[in-house]
Every structure is written in C-alpha cells, then in structure tokens.
Structure 1
Amino acid sequence: MPSHPASTVRMGLLALLWGSSFLWIKVALNHGLTPAQVAVTRCALGAAVLVALARARGGRLPRSRATWGHLAVAALLCNAVPFALFAVGEQTVDSGVAGVLNATTPLWSLLTGVLLGTDRGVRPVRLAGLALGFAGTLLIFAPWQRAGLTSWGALALAGAALSYALAFAYMGRHLTARKDPTAVSAAQLLAATAWTALALPVAGPGPLHVDTTGVLAVVALGILGTGVTFHLNYRLIADEGPTAAATVGYLLPVVSVTLGALVLGEELTPRVLAGMAVVLTGVALTRGPGAHRPRPARRHTPSAAHAQERSAVPGRVLSGRPGRVPAGRADGA
C-alpha cells in the first residue's frame, strides 16, 4: 500500500530538521565544544524536550526492567555511538563526504533487516529505489572530487551509519510497538544521556571555552536535531518499518544542499540538481504502491457454532461480522 500522507509529511519534516544537524555539529565544534561535550549535551537536551512532551500528554516512562534493557541497547546503538562518531568524524571530514557516508544508512538498514528478519517486504522496485537514492547522493556530492574519503574520520562516519541501521532494526523489533512512543523515546534519550555521560571521563571533558554561537548551535542540535527528530523517527519506524524509515537518510543531502544555496548562497550546479532529482525519484520508488509486499493474512474459518459463541462476547462484533478480531491485534490486547 502507498505510504500514508501523514507519514510522508513526517518524513519531510524529519529530513528538514535532521539535515540541519551536520551544520549544528560543525558550528559547535568550531566554537569551543569537544565531540564528547556535543554528544552528551544533545542527548540531555533532547531527553528534556521529550520528557516534557510526554508529561504534557499524560504519558509515563516505562517501568518494566525488560523494556529498560531494550532501551539501553537502543540508546547505545541509535544515540550514544553514532552521536559520538559523527562529532569525531566531522573534525576531519568535510560535509560532502559526511553526507555520502551518512546516506549509506538505508542500504545498511536493508541488509540488516533482511538478515535479522525485520523486513520481509522487499520488492525489486524498492531495491531499485534504494540504489537510485544512493546513486543520486553520490552525484550530488561527487566524493571522487573530495579529500578525506579514506580517512579515520570517514571510517567513524561509516560506523555511525551502520550503528543507525542496527538501531532501527532493533527498535522496530523490540520498542516501536509500545503504547506511548513519546514516553519510550524520552526514556531512550535518558538512557543515551547516561551512556554519553559515562564516556566523558574516558574521552576527556576538555576545557570549556564555548561562545554564544557554540551554545546556540548545540541548543538547536539538542532540541530540534535530537529531541523533535527522534520522536518523529520513532513514529516513522512504527508506521512503516525500519528500512522505510532509514530512507530519510537519502533526503538529508537534498536538504543540506538546498539550505546551503538559500542561506549561504552556494551554487546549485546542473550536476547537483540532477542528483537531487535522482534522489527524490529513488525515495518515491521506495514509498510507492509496489514497494511493499503485503503480509499474508491468516486464514481462520471457525465453525458456525464457534462463530456464534464468539459473537456473543462483548466487543467481538465488528462491522457486522461476528467473530472477527481487528487485523494486527491479538486476544486480550
């Protein structure tokens, strides 16, 4: 089935906010903050935003130990590790190479989803869309014209993309079915704050000589680029699955290039415009009517007596058809 319009809007907003994160990281690093300080601050600010949002909606943080165990793993893979690796990588790698390496996340997500069994709906049109998205990203940034593609910084960025893909698969399997995604995402960022705070003594807190620009950059990164985007990402994984959610990574170069042209006056060459068109085409293919293979419905043909008995149970009559349970819902849910 085609993606729901609300999910498409959510994906566009997520790409817009997430695509600006590279800029905020770079500014924060250039104005006095260390990679460890950037990572822990963005996690803490993002957690504060989501905790406040969850409380305003009447949500409660999870209490189950098992849930917190899953949250600890997800926070390590989706927050603590990639946030630190992005901050380390952007010390030596330019934004073009960073954009290309970050855009490998959907490919890693597809591979891990197939291997782990979290993504069973892969069709040729979807594979073609993923390949087109990556090709368009390469066309935009032309990494063969840039230095630093084989540096340690580039390796850190590639590791961050892989960590994101593993996290999306893990979250899709263990966390996104929870009742309140806002409370769950808030709890995960709290766990991520703890992980990154534990890393501060090892990484070295470093001297704090941050100026106003650096403070504003890390605040924008924490509130918009972490708190708001993380909530949107959770909803997208829950609605469409980890591989479809990871596809937003292909939109980030489009956002960053467009913002660069509008805000910084950077030139939009024909190659860049062509790359943006290819990216958007690839993303459209991954989200179109033929991209997802519907899961086979369970066949259940109860006897007439059993159907009559079930129809007598309160809440079991749906749309005039006795004995039917809503799709995707189990007894007692």
Structure 2
Amino acid sequence: MSAVATPRPRSSDTPVTSSTSAAAPSPDARRPALDWRIRFALLSLIWGFSFLLIKVGTQAYPPLQVTLGRMVFGTAVLAAVIAVKRERLPHGAGTWCRLAIAAFFLNALPFSLFSYAELTIPSTLAGICNATTPLWGMALSLVALSEDRPTRRRVAGLGIGFLGVLTVLGAWQGFSGQDPAGTAMALIASLSYAVGWIYVRRTLSGTGSSNLSMAGAQLFLGTVQLAVVTPLFTSFPTSFPVLPLLAVVALGATGTGFAFLLQYGLVTEVGPTTATLVTYFIPVVATAAGVLLLGERLTWNTPVGALIVLTGAALTQSRWTGARGSSGRSEAPGAGRTRSLRAVARRGSHS
C-alpha cells in the first residue's frame, strides 16, 4: 500500500536477467485481459481501502495479530503464483539476509506501526501520512545515494510537502484533535518505507533471481519475523468476529498479495514511473472510504493539507519524470522490468 515512493530508475541499476532477456511472446499473446488503466484504478482502490480494513481489523484483534494475518495471507497468494509459474527461489545466504532486512523495513515494521496508529487516529489521517513516503525518500536519498543531487525544485517540494503535513495536523491550533503518538507512528511507518527502498536499491540489485520470487521470499521472511514476535506480546484470540476476520483476510490476500501482482504487471507493461503514480491516489481513496464508510470526521485542513503533501511529493519526484534515467540516457527496452522488485517491494507499499 505502501503508497510509497518508488526507487528512482537508473540506467545501470540492474542487469537484464534471463527471464527478461529471453525471447518475448508476441504482443497479442501476452496482452492482459484488462486494460492497464482499469488495473491502475483497481490498485488505487485496493491500497486506498487497506487503511479502512486495518481500522476494522483492529477493532477485534491486536495490531500485531492484524499485521501477522495480512502477511500470512499475502504470502500465501504469492507462494501460490510462484508455485504455478515454477519460479526458483533466491539463492545464497547473503541474499536471504538482505531480504530479511528489507522485509523488516518494508513490511513487518511499517505494517505494524500503521495498525497501532489506527487504534487512535482515523484511517483518513493514516492514509495521508502514508503519502509522505516520497518526501522521506527524497530527504534520505540526498544523504544515502551519492547520485542524487538536490535541485531547487526538489528541495522546494520537500518543504511544501512537510508544510502540508503541518496543515493536515492543524499545527496553528496546537495539533488539537489528533493523537500525537498515533500520528508519529504513522509518519515513522512512512519513513520506514523510504529507508527500505533505499536499502533495496543499494543491496538487492542484480541478484539473478526473478522479481516475483524475490518479493515472495521477502514477504515470507516478514511473516516469520512477525510469527516470532506476535506470541510474545499477544494472547491467542478467544473469539473470531466475522467482519474483522474478513477484513484481515482481505487486507492480506487482496491488499498485500494480489495488489503486488497488479503492480508487478503494471511496472512491466507501462514502466515504473507511470505505475507508481498510484501513490498519489491512495490518500484520496483512503479519505473517501473513511468518511463515507466509517463516518470519520473531515475538517477543511485535512483535504487541503493532503493536496499540499501530494504537490510536494510530486515535485520531489519530478527529476525522474519521463523515459530517461538519472544519467540522461534513454533506458534500454525491458529495463523497467528488471527494476520491478524495487518498484513493488514497498507494499507493499503501501500500507
């Protein structure tokens, strides 16, 4: 869900793997049944509604159990697809260790923080906080990625974005009406996504494994992490209310597993730049769902602040708009496919 920021393309990021360099089938043979615009809209709805599902799930189950449930069902979906396609799992202890770290920052930690945050803040606010991930990513990349250089437009976007956050929170009235701890957890979750994608970009390029198997392994490792931690802090449920249980199942199978497959296909078909524009629609859907279905209160500063946040986030990513990488060279055909792990690892993103 993680509406989240996508690692920006670099023409030399990843060598073309055997799966992408093999002879491709004819366009007619591989044309998806649904137009990419329909799948784009569906992905926006799924990730936007994820915040509502978190809110419903935490009404009956502890946040860690909600997160573990979504990871279990999300991993099951990817495992089934990997088995059907007979994908080979990643090899090498080093790769698995790095995937475990990526799973912590991109899945286990942010998913848990969003679940805890929604105990005390509206799902609308959580969805808007999720949209700050590109801002965190831009700020961190200036420090962590030597090829990223600040420009006036990107620095302005960073400032505008965080001004939007202050607007959403009503800073001029002392942040009244918002729980500081819950809001902080949601913002830290978004920061965790940014840390995760920078880590993936620096350490998991060119492993030789398919993006699908890498992401499936990452979700599996995140599930293991939560399976170890959750029993230490929660007790086994004594009852299983139907609606919250269905919310957790949908959050995992649809919002984590199926949503990944949708974005994986979009990145392959239309490229990472277009596919990750979904980030900017997630808070809109999350806000509409929270207000219309959960009856959450919406004041004027929430949508206005969200618009300012999205404007700032768009400006921070403007350097990468278009079909050229950071080097200014046109990317080779298929280069977007080889980066799809980095483009979708966040949502796995997204919350």
TM over 0.5: yes
Pair 1:262–1:86, CA change in 2 (3 A)? closer
Pair 1:140–1:146, CA change in 2 (3 A)? same
Contact kept? 2:124, 2:290, Cα under 8 Å: no
CA RMSD across the alignment: 4.0
Contact kept? 2:51, 2:124, Cα under 8 Å: no
Q: Deviations over 1:92-133 (max 9, x none)?
A: 223344334333322221122221117626543344445545
Give the equivalent residue in structure 1 for 2:203.
Answer: 174
Residue 207 of structure 1 and its aligned partner are, at CA, apart by 2.9
Q: Structure 1 residue 16 and structure 2 residue 35: aligned?
A: no
Q: Structure 1 residue 253 and structure 2 residue 269: aligned?
A: no
User: What percentage of residue pairs aligned between the two structures are identical?
Assistant: 38
Pair 1:148–1:16, CA change in 2 (3 A)? same
Amino acid at match of 1:188: Q
Pair 1:284–1:105, CA change in 2 (3 A)? closer
Q: Structure 1 residue 296 and structure 2 residue 327: aligned?
A: yes
Amino acid at match of 1:296: S
Distance across 2 between alignment mates of 1:127 and 1:7: 32
Give the equivalent residue in structure 2 for 1:63.
Answer: 91
Distance across 1 between alignment mates of 2:80 and 2:292: 33
Q: Which structure has the larger Rg?
A: 1
Residue 76 of structure 1 and its aligned partner are, at CA, apart by 1.1
Give the equivalent residue in structure 1 for 2:144.
Answer: 116
Residue 194 of structure 1 and its aligned partner are, at CA, apart by 0.3
Is the deviation greater in 13-22 or in 228-237?
228-237
Q: How does 1:40-59 map to 2 (within 5 A)?
A: 40-59=68-87
Contact kept? 1:82, 1:164, Cα under 8 Å: yes
Distance across 2 between alignment mates of 1:166 and 1:20: 24
Amino acid at match of 2:107: N
Contact kept? 2:157, 2:313, Cα under 8 Å: yes
SS of structure 2 residue aligned to 1:92: coil
Residue 263 of structure 1 and its aligned partner are, at CA, apart by 4.7
Residue 137 of structure 1 and its aligned partner are, at CA, apart by 5.8
Distance across 2 between alignment mates of 1:236 and 1:82: 24
Pair 1:264–1:214, CA change in 2 (3 A)? closer
Amino acid at match of 1:163: S
Contact kept? 2:71, 2:222, Cα under 8 Å: yes
Q: Structure 1 residue 98 and structure 2 residue 126: aligned?
A: yes
Distance across 1 between alignment mates of 2:311 and 2:103: 32
Contact kept? 1:100, 1:138, Cα under 8 Å: no
Pair 1:27–1:230, CA change in 2 (3 A)? same
Q: How does 1:1-333 map to 2 (within 5 A)?
A: 13-30=42-59, 32-117=60-145, 120=148, 123-133=151-161, 135-136=163-164, 139=167, 142=170, 146-150=176-180, 152-175=181-204, 177-178=206-207, 179-231=209-261, 240=272, 249-260=279-290, 263=293, 274=304, 278=308, 281-282=311-312, 285=315, 291=321, 294-296=325-327
For these two proteins, the number of residue pairs brought into alignment is 295
Residue 175 of structure 1 and its aligned partner are, at CA, apart by 3.0
Residue 45 of structure 1 and its aligned partner are, at CA, apart by 0.5
Q: Which runs of 5+ in 1 are unaligned?
A: 299-324, 329-333
TM-score normalized by the length of structure 1:
0.71
Distance across 2 between alignment mates of 1:252 and 1:66: 34
TM-score normalized by the length of structure 2:
0.68
Residue 156 of structure 1 and its aligned partner are, at CA, apart by 2.4
SS of structure 1 residue aligned to 2:64: helix
Contact kept? 2:123, 2:287, Cα under 8 Å: no
